[in-house]
Amino acid sequence: MMTVINKSEYKDKLREVITEITGIKDFKDDDVFTELGIDSLTVLELIQEIEDEFDILIPEETIEEYFTDFNSVYQNIMKLMDEKE
């Protein structure tokens, strides 16, 4: 498991995970995932990898609301990380 020191490193790591799973390297923080061609199966892969990488559990009921764009995912992860501490 990677030791992350600050929030910018979380953001960088999240970008890496999204690029690794989707193959999309160039996206803006507010690009809508569906407009980038990221479908629901890919979102499930992302969730699994994010949970493993950040050692968090993403509640199923938050997926539809928070997995729409990079900013939403990042904010949800930060909230879950804060709750974990």
In the chain, which ranges are E strands? none
Predicted local confidence at residue 42, as pLDDT:
95
pTM: 0.85
Does residue 85 surpass a pLDDT of 80? Answer: no
| Cα–Cα dist 27/57, whole Å | 25
Tell me the per-residue pLDDT of 16-41, one tens digit each, with 9 for 90 and over: 999 999 999 999 999 999 999 999 99
Predicted local confidence at residue 65, as pLDDT:
86
H-helix or E-strand spanning residue 51: helix 40-54
H-helix or E-strand spanning residue 63: helix 63-66
| Cα–Cα dist 80/42, whole Å | 21
Predicted local confidence at residue 78, as pLDDT:
92
Domains and CATH numbers, the chain: 7-84 (1.10.1200.10)
